[in-house]
Amino acid sequence: MPDTAPFAPSLSPRFAAYVRDYLMDRGINPRPVFSACGVAFELNDETDQPIPVEVVAQLFEEAAQVASDSSIGLSMGRDFHYESSSLLIVAMLSAPSVNEGLQFLNRYDKFIDSGITTAFYPGRAPSEFVADLVHEGSAAMGQLNEYLMGFLVQTLTTATRQPVPLLHVGFQHASSSSIEQLQDFFGCQLSFGEPHNSITFHPRYLEERFMTSNKLLFRVLQNVMETHFSTGDGRGGFVGSVCRQIMLESDVGEADTETVAGKLNVSPRTLRRRLAEEGFTFQGAKNLARERRAKYLLANGNASLTEIAFELGYSELSAFSRAFRAWSGETPQAYRDNIRALIR
């Protein structure tokens, strides 16, 4: 079988910039912290290599120790530097309303942060937004969980100039040393050891206008995100969920219906039926997942074409090149050159 490289769920290199900003705000030199975690201090642009979730968690923990801040996750979310925002957050803030902003975040974050799984339920009463970390191993995720929820609530509050009418905030980690700070910030019921990181709030808040809205910018950035991250095919729905799960498997080429169906909590028969309803077989979904992952890796980071080919399950670069040309009509190198010219 092909000798594939494992795919580690990762976060945008902008997470490193957020840690950098937090430390520098407090007069702390970030370089030793980054060095201790094996993260290059300068490489935090969105076109740099994504960072494995466990490494970002380690970076948070190391920064917490150096800054003597046991609630660093909440502190970073509350004091976020919006001038350092990723393209995703800039686009989200330019949306017209809470509902459209969260819809946008839910749709596109999966292409930027493979280490975060989101879900949005605007039709529920109360409405709910979920953001879970995908990780393996024993790295402590509490600070990152608290950052995600704190950042989300702070961003919505900043954009609407209205407090989020929170009803409940749930965290996946079992407990926190920052319960008092979390309670003061969220002002609602908190619970730990939950299946998901989530916020629930009154549905009326979905109608609140974003004071940061810029409709022209939103349309432009929607087009950029569609081109740069989701490959422009506009496919969402169930096949999008299947593609994402396939990309999260350690061996993309060997992903099978039973494993993927189990991760999506459906039977293999249901998985095949729902794919067929959208015009796909499982092999077609696997090919689409390979295409999306290939385009993401070509546009982001500096992995060689051979390394990308092996990660996607191809034993030879020539086989990957033929497949990629069939998908896009151009060679992998030409795609990389063109997409990077587009975003310069």
Q: Are residues 179 and 203 in the same domain?
A: yes
CATH at 62: 1.10.260
Q: What is the 3-state secondary structure (H, E, C) of the chain?
A: CCCCCCCCCEECCHHHHHHHHHHHHCCCCCHHHHHHCCCCCCCCCCCCCCEEHHHHHHHHHHHHHHHCCCCHHHHHHHCCCHHHCCHHHHHHHCCCEHHHHHHHHHHHHHHHCCCEEEEEECCCCCEEEEEEECCCCCCCCHHHHHHHHHHHHHHHHHHHCCCCCEEEEECCCCCCCCHHHHHHHHCCEEECCCCCCEEEECHHHHHCECCCCCHHHHHHHHHHHHHHCCCCCCCCHHHHHHHHHHHHCCCHHHCCHHHHHHHCCCCHHHHHHHHHHCCCCHHHHHHHHHHHHHHHHHHCCCCCHHHHHHHCCCCCHHHHHHHHHHHHCCCHHHHHHHHHHHHC
Which of 25, 52, 82 is where one domain is finished?
82
Contacts of 86 (CB under 8 A, 6+ apart): 12, 14, 46, 112
Residue 250: count other Cβ atoms within 10 Å of its Cβ. 12
Q: Are residues 93 and 72 in the same domain?
A: no
Residue 223 belongs to some domain of the structure: no
The pLDDT score that the predictor gives to residue 342 is 63
The pLDDT score that the predictor gives to residue 135 is 73
Q: Are residues 48 and 109 in the same domain?
A: no
Residue 150 belongs to some domain of the structure: yes
Strand pairing category for 189-191 and 198-201: unpaired
Residue 4 belongs to some domain of the structure: no
Which of 36, 65, 82 is where one domain is finished?
82
Q: Are residues 165 and 187 in the same domain?
A: yes
Number of folded domains in the chain?
3
CATH at 283: 1.10.10.60
Q: Are residues 199 and 159 in the same domain?
A: yes
Residue 227 belongs to some domain of the structure: no
Q: What is the pLDDT of residues 162-192, one digit of tens each?
A: 999 999 999 999 988 889 999 999 999 999 9
Domain that holds residue 250: 232-343
pTM of this prediction exceeds 0.75: no
Q: Name residues of the chain where pLDDT drops below 70.
A: 1-8, 46-47, 136-139, 226-237, 248-253, 300-301, 342-344
The pLDDT score that the predictor gives to residue 129 is 97
Which of 36, 59, 82 is where one domain is finished?
82
Residue 124 belongs to some domain of the structure: yes
The pLDDT score that the predictor gives to residue 40 is 86
Q: Are residues 201 and 272 in the same domain?
A: no
Residue 1 belongs to some domain of the structure: no
Q: Are residues 207 and 93 in the same domain?
A: yes
Q: What is the pLDDT of residues 128-142, one digit of tens each?
A: 999 999 876 556 899
The pLDDT score that the predictor gives to residue 2 is 33
Q: Are residues 76 and 169 in the same domain?
A: no
The pLDDT score that the predictor gives to residue 301 is 67
